Structure 1
Amino acid sequence: MKWLYIAASIAVFLKFMIMPNLAAEVADLEIVEMVVKESGVPNAVSGIIFRNRLYDTIFEVIVFTIAIMGAQYLLANEQPFHRIYQFTDQPSIVLARLGATIAAIVGVELAIRGHLSPGGGFAAGVAGGTAIGLVAITSSSEWMAAIYQRWRAAIWEKVSVLIFVVLSVLTLVGFELPHGELGALVSGGVMPLLNILVAIKVALGSWAAILIFIRYRGLL
């Protein structure tokens, strides 16, 4: 029986190597042009994520939300860590906060223009989360938590997910905003909104995770 498995594996491998791939007959450039035309945005990656594979993107956002909730649930019964490890020397603090400023600016730019150029909501959220993390390792944990509570970041995170899901469902059932002029800032229908919502979700979710690990682990 073992030899039968080996022979079958070799036959399948040869099939993949010898027989042509029918999908490869279409030129890559034609696929990109088709995605750009259908989505109305120059960034074909955004067109695929928020249109051709929007169903997958919905669950990616939901999985990220569940991951943050899971981290909070699993660590809720542990004792807060008494010692917080942070930068204390002034040069490191200055460099970290400078990096946070640059990351925040890049995050805003990617969220607004992600449908026009390389980048998008997920990259913008990561940049925003990086900025928050750099501030967190140079500032008081109590101060960071107070700002998080004052601006009701947890509520905005959940609201952004709900709005994203609603807009995604409307898009999946066939409702689309006008695409506008290709290459313009206000173009691509609902995609710029989805980009911004994902950026808000990922950045605020990263903030929540940072606060959780600082509180119960003492470091990021």
Structure 2
Amino acid sequence: MKILYIIASLAMFIKILVMPNTMAELSEMSIVEMVVEDTGVPNAVSGIIFRNRLYDTIFEVIVFTIAILGVGFLLSNEQPTTVVYQFTDQPSIVLARLGATITALVTTELAIRGHLSPGGGFAAGVAGGTAIGLIAITSSSQTMEKVYKRFSAATLEKVSVLLFIILAIATLTGIELPHGNLGYLISGGSIPLLNIIVALKVALGSWAAILLFVRYRGLF
């Protein structure tokens, strides 16, 4: 078997050296420019995620949703903890909440302008979850639970998933909003809306997971 592995490795090595590089023929044509022209957004990454490989992105959102549900399922049989580890000194609390405020502003920027500059829905959602986490380690768990229920965050998360799937399927079937002018805030068809919905879904899902870990484990 070792001889077969060696022969296969040598054959692959010779193929790399001998066979022509097919990508060299595309040197005059920028793939990034093609994606930007096709999607109508300067951020080619957002264009690829929410158009060229939107089918994969749908399942990424579904997998994230299942992961959040899995956290609740795994912790459902545990008893809530009576000890929650949080910042108690005032300087740490002030710095954490300042960081949460800055991160929340970054979240908004990444979600709204993610199709124009580096960023996007997933990055915005992670930033939003970070902001919520910083608030959670400086506030009482009861307060976080009340705020979560007051804004119906669990329902809003489920609605955001449904909206994303509906809008994504419409885009895949060829139903698109006008691309507008390249580089403007209102442009790129449905990509900006998909960015915002994903950011909302990831942030709310992170909030749900944070509350569960605080309730049952006392920390993240």
Q: Same fold (TM over 0.5)?
A: yes
**Following superposition, which runs of at least 4 residues in structure 1 exceed 3 angstroms of deviation?**
none
TM-score normalized with structure 1 length: 0.96
C-alpha displacement of 1:7 = 1.3
Per-residue CA deviations over 1:160-193 (Å, capped at 9, x if unaligned) read: 0100000100111111110001111100000010
Cα distance between partner residues in 2 of 1:146 and 1:189: 37
The match for 1:210 is 210
Asked if 1:90 corresponds to 2:90, the answer is yes
- The amino acid across from 1:206 in the alignment is S
The match for 2:62 is 62
- CA gap 1:87/1:24 in 2 versus in 1, 3 angstroms: farther
Cα distance between partner residues in 1 of 2:102 and 2:14: 51
C-alpha displacement of 1:25 = 3.1
C-alpha displacement of 1:17 = 4.9
- The amino acid across from 1:171 in the alignment is T
Asked if 1:141 corresponds to 2:141, the answer is yes
1:66 partner SS = helix
Cα distance between partner residues in 2 of 1:103 and 1:70: 27
C-alpha displacement of 1:15 = 2.2
The match for 1:105 is 105
The match for 2:159 is 159
Cα distance between partner residues in 2 of 1:4 and 1:107: 53
% of aligned pairs identical? 73
- CA gap 1:21/1:98 in 2 versus in 1, 3 angstroms: same
- CA gap 1:126/1:24 in 2 versus in 1, 3 angstroms: farther
Structure 1: gaps spanning 5 or more residues: none
Cα distance between partner residues in 1 of 2:177 and 2:39: 11
Cα root mean square deviation, aligned = 1.3
- The amino acid across from 2:130 in the alignment is T
- CA gap 1:23/1:139 in 2 versus in 1, 3 angstroms: same
- The amino acid across from 2:115 in the alignment is H
Per-residue CA deviations over 1:76-95 (Å, capped at 9, x if unaligned) read: 00111111000000000000
TM-score normalized with structure 2 length: 0.96
- The amino acid across from 2:140 in the alignment is S
Cα distance between partner residues in 2 of 1:67 and 1:59: 12
- CA gap 1:199/1:116 in 2 versus in 1, 3 angstroms: same
C-alpha displacement of 1:13 = 3.5
1:183 partner SS = coil
Cα distance between partner residues in 2 of 1:13 and 1:65: 43
Cα distance between partner residues in 2 of 1:203 and 1:73: 20
Cα distance between partner residues in 2 of 1:33 and 1:51: 15
